[in-house]
């Protein structure tokens, strides 16, 4: 049973926030925002699949709303610690579940990386 996606297989990379928030077209990637220490761990070990505590992912147009939400909850408005991670959507597609709450809040499609793999019916 799969317990994580390795960084190399999903092309997990750290990207500058300006590059992520200023692109005009949808792309084939999903994004996760974490603090610097968690981002470093994810870049080394990959993304865990945990049904009880799934990672949230968003499409590109949800990044600005996620960063704004973080700045509301971080003391002293210090969201400089936030790191944007990008991964290939197609590589995790089967392990995603829709996240309707964050989708409504961010006005962008959001997902939970739960590991509940979808099976094709034949």
Condensed to tens digits (0 to 9), the pLDDT of residues 59-114 reads 999 998 998 888 877 655 455 689 999 999 999 999 999 999 999 999 999 999 99
First to last CA, the chain: 21
User: Average per-residue pLDDT in the chain?
Assistant: 86
What is the DSSP annotation of the chain?
---EE-HHHHT-EEE-HHHHHS--S--SEEEEEEEHHHHHHHHHH-EE--SSSPEEEE-GGGHHHHHHHHHHHSGGG-GGGEEEEEEEHHHHGGGEEE-HHHHHHHTS-EEEE---------
Contact between residue 58 and residue 31 where contact means Cβ atoms under 8 Å apart: yes
pTM score = 0.86
- The pLDDT confidence band at residue 122, using thresholds 50, 70 and 90, is very low
How far is the C-alpha of 114 from the C-alpha of 66, rounded, in Å?
19
């Amino acid at each position: 049973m799969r317990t994580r996606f390795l960084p190399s297989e999903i092309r997990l990379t750290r990207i500058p926030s300006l590059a992520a928030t200023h692109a005009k077209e949808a792309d084939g990637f999903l994004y996760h925002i974490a603090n610097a220490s968690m981002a470093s761990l994810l870049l080394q070990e990959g993304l865990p699949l945990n049904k009880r505590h799934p990672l949230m992912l968003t499409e590109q147009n949800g990044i600005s709303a996620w960063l704004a939400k973080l700045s509301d909850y971080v003391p002293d408005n210090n969201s400089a610690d936030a790191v944007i991670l990008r991964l290939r959507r197609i590589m995790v597609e089967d392990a995603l579940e829709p996240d309707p709450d964050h989708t409504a809040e961010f006005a962008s499609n959001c997902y939970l990386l739960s590991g509940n793999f979808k099976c094709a019916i034949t």
